[in-house]
Structures are given as C-alpha cells and as structure tokens.
Amino acid sequence: MKYVYQVEKENYEDAGKASTDIKRTLKTIGIDRRVLKAVAIACYEAEINIVIHSNGGTVTFEMDDDGVITLSFDDVGPGIEDLELAQTPGYSTASTKARSLGFGAGMGLSNMKSVASSFQITSSPEGTHIQMTFQ
C-alpha cells in the first residue's frame, strides 16, 4: 500500500489534509489505536512543517506486508541550516503568519521523534528529507 500527496508552500487551508486521509485509510483497516494516533500526530507535524518552512514537497505513506508503516517527507528546499538546533524543543524559525495560525511553537521535530519507532532527518539547501517508521 502506497500513497503520495503533494503539499504546497504556505497553503494553510489545506495543511493537514494528507494526514487526515492517511488516518482514515488506517482506520478502515483496523490498525491499533496507539499506532494510529502516533502516525497521525507525526504526519500532521511534518506536513505542517512543509507548509510553513519549505518551498513545497510531498508526503509518502507506505505500509508493508508485516504492517510496518513508513512515512517520508521530501521538500524542495531551502533546507534547515542547523539540524541540531532545529531539533531542540522550543526552537522555532516560524513566520508571524504561521504563529498566528497556531504553529511554530518549536515542538514539531521533537514531537515526531517522540511518537515514531524510528526517525531520520537529512537536510541540504536542495531539500529536507524525513523518514519515520511505526510498528
């Protein structure tokens, strides 16, 4: 099972639609509630990050035959200057617009790490890649 969603830069109205769709898909196949919530939280945080911080990108959801779920987030830049700092709870570079809409508390990456079974992030000016697994 694999789905790919496009996410637009600064499209705050549609931000979160991919996460909603993925959660609905998982609900229909009766996945464990704890895993479902973890996937939904991590996906929503990462999707919002693409909207707020990047020039746009994709969300990819995959589930293998053993039920292991992989979420991948790929954007087209401009990248994260200091990855270590970006993962510090409370650190944020979000715009005033993003903050006025309830985001940019600096908890996104740490939230993702805390709910995922595995978490990997790489970043360059060409783009940021995040991959998380859930089981």
The answer to the question of residue 134 lying near another protein (CB under 8 A) is no
The Cα 15–Cα 12 span in angstroms is 5
Contact 36, 27 (CB under 8 A): yes
The answer to the question of residue 127 lying near another protein (CB under 8 A) is no
Q: For another protein, which residue of 93, 110, 131, 133 counts as binding (CB under 8 A)?
A: 110
Kindly tell me the number of DSSP H helices and DSSP E strands found in the chain. Answer: 5, 5
The answer to the question of residue 65 lying near another protein (CB under 8 A) is no
The answer to the question of residue 11 lying near another protein (CB under 8 A) is no
* Sheet with strand 2-7: strands edge to edge: 2-7, 57-63, 69-75, 127-134, 118-124
37-56 mask for another protein (x: CB under 8 A)?
xx-xx--xx--x--------
Non-local (6+) Cβ contacts of 62 within 8 A are: 1, 2, 69, 70, 71, 72
The answer to the question of residue 16 lying near another protein (CB under 8 A) is yes
Q: Which is nearer to another protein, 6 or 11 (CB)?
A: 11
Q: Which is nearer to another protein, 51 or 63 (CB)?
A: 51
Q: For another protein, which residue of 105, 117, 122, 125 counts as binding (CB under 8 A)?
A: 105
Q: For another protein, which residue of 77, 78, 79, 106 counts as binding (CB under 8 A)?
A: 106
Q: Which residue has the tokens 């995040």?
A: 130
Binding interface with another protein (CB under 8 A):
12-13, 15-16, 19-20, 23, 33, 37-38, 40-41, 44-45, 48, 101-108, 110-111, 114-115
